[in-house]
Amino acid sequence: MRWLAGVVAAVILLLLIYFGSAASSLAKLAAAVRAGDGAAVLARTDLKTLNHSLTDQIVRSYLERIGATRQIKPMERVLINTYGASIADAMVAKMLTPERLTQMLKTGSLDAPGVPSFAGLPALADLQTSDWLSLLGRVKVIKPVLLAIRVSNSSEPDDYAAIDLHSEGLDWKLAGIELPKPIVRDLAASLPVK
């Protein structure tokens, strides 16, 4: 019986370390965003994974938009996934400069030359990172090394927005931004239509 209590205590301690390290990393990221420190935000970001996350959302929305009016042939789908992804990737790369990424996370909008403007993304800067119990209700474990933290007030499918944190040891980095569907649709609409 004593060993069971030891195992339970060890599991609780590991969970506290696991979620505590994620909450600490989130608090540091949010503090950098609030301060407008683009270099610190970028240091707490896995840029390649974030770029991939946003590009995938835009291409998926683009395929949905085309698929709503006609059937997409398999070869066309492959071409869109390669050519469309390269165009979306170039657009996302312009969005992920230190200043623009910080602006998106701080204000929930992006208004910069050379990229489509948008507003309506819940701002990470508004998230109360000091209230750990409230944060715990916003966490969704995707994989043991990947957490989604809801930044939107609502979990309705059209309004849902979250940031994904990826574990790198005891540190967690921004690895994705799940944009609300209307924003993704607007970004996908800026891609050329065949």
Q: Is residue 194 part of a domain?
A: no
Q: Which domain holds residue 65?
A: 2-189
What is the arithmetic mean of pLDDT over 77-94?
A: 83
Residue indicated by tokens 């989604």: 148
Q: What is the pLDDT of residues 134-189, one digit of tens each?
A: 788 899 999 999 999 999 988 898 899 999 999 988 899 999 999 999 999 999 88
Count the domains in the chain: 1
Note the pLDDT tens digit of each residue in 14-35.
888 888 888 899 999 999 999 9
What value, to the nearest 5°, has the Cα angle with vertex 174 and ends 88 and 104? 60
User: Is residue 129 in a domain?
Assistant: yes
Tokens of 185: 């649709």
Q: With bands split at pLDDT 50, 70 and 90, how would you rate the model's confidence at 93?
A: very high
What pLDDT score was predicted for residue 193? 66
Residue with tokens 């339970």: 8
**Residues 130, 61: Cα–Cα separation, whole Å:** 35
172 assigned to some structural domain: yes
pTM of the shown model: 0.87
